[in-house]
Amino acid sequence: MPKSELLNEAVVRELLASQFPEWSDLPIERVEFDGWDNTTFRLGRDMSIRLPTGEWYAEQVDKEQKWLPRLAPSLPLPIPVPLAKGVPTASFPWPWSVYKWIEGEIALKADIADLTRFAETLAIFLVALQRIPAGDGPPPGVHNFYRGIPLTTHDPDLPYNMPGNWKTRESIEVLHSHIDVRAAMEVWESGLESEWERPPVWIHGDVAATNLLVRDGRLSGVIDFGCSGVGDPACDLVIAWTFLSGESRAAFRETLQLDDRTWARGRAWALWKASIVLGESIDSDPKEAANQKRVINEIVTDAHLI
């Protein structure tokens, strides 16, 4: 199967020439920050192409083709709207998509004029997403790496543990020389004390600074719905500790108006991800490891302040 670094302009142009020749002469430029799941290219001025980098990610293509056009009209910010769907070929074995381009710079690199206002705008977007009828939406599964499931499925000490999951307690315990394991475990166990007891709602599944676009200093779009689905919205709170802090985090929480137990599950989701990434980067990527230690400290401190 083609790896991300092998998905180059020549591959994209070949796919276009065979399936969408009307676009095959347009300029193609690889997007610098395109995530783990897909390789993204800008096509001309007004379009983008996303090619999944693995079989699991390919399952997201049909989901986005079906649901993003239905979600977009109810949301207060632009999201990617599919324009066309490509089919597998001998040189590229999975379906792929052409989307309308959304202007903006990813929040991780952008100059944000007012982070508190940014947080409020993001919360308003998530509230609108959660209000969209979700009765026939896709439940958590392989297509979104089980985002939106009960946290108990990530806990080996409880009977709901699913085979092949990321065992959070183990991830935390092996970091005993790098983080406050006792405090982190308290955060995890606090998150396990509740589950989402309302009907499932729409979730983005990967609300990260690399999936939020900024234009003129303000939040201008939300991209990458590959992990979207319907379930517990706690997983969409992770950005409160990875990117927001202080006043902006408080504004995010107040605008969302979620109960304390959901907030606690959000902290636990953030800890789950940070502990895994820290464990993977501790010996190989000092910069990433330092960032994940910072995130875990933010999570633990927030838990003890409330």
Say which DSSP state 113 is in.
S
pLDDT of 230 above 80: yes
Assign 171 a pLDDT band (cuts: 50, 70, 90).
confident
Assign 77 a pLDDT band (cuts: 50, 70, 90).
very high
- Token readout for 165 is 């999951």
- Average pLDDT of span 93-105: 96
The rounded distance, in Å, linking the Cα atoms of 49 and 45 is 12
- Average pLDDT of span 225-254: 97
The CA R_g of the chain, rounded to the nearest whole Å, is 20
Strand duo 82-86 + 218-222: pairing: unpaired
Q: Which residues of 173-188 are buried (b: 16+ CB within 10 A; e: fewer)?
A: eebeeebebebbeebb
Per-residue pLDDT tens over the stretch 267-283: 999 999 999 999 999 99
* Mean pLDDT, the chain, integer: 91
Q: In the prediction, which pLDDT does 160 show? A: 43
The rounded distance, in Å, linking the Cα atoms of 53 and 226 is 12
The rounded distance, in Å, linking the Cα atoms of 9 and 151 is 41
Fold of 4-101: Phosphorylase Kinase; domain 1 (3.30.200)
pTM of the model: 0.92
Taking the domains of the chain in order of start, what are their residue ranges? 4-101, 106-305
The rounded distance, in Å, linking the Cα atoms of 215 and 107 is 9
Query: Which amino acid is present at 254?
Result: E
Assign 1 a pLDDT band (cuts: 50, 70, 90).
very low
CATH code for the part of the protein at 106-305 = 3.90.1200.10
Per-residue pLDDT tens over the stretch 11-33: 999 999 999 999 999 999 999 87
pLDDT of 5 above 70: no
Q: In the prediction, which pLDDT does 154 show? A: 73
Per-residue pLDDT tens over the stretch 124-166: 999 999 999 999 999 998 888 889 998 887 776 544 444 444 5
- Token readout for 262 is 């959901």
Other beta carbons within 10 angstroms of residue 283's beta carbon come to 8
The rounded distance, in Å, linking the Cα atoms of 234 and 276 is 18
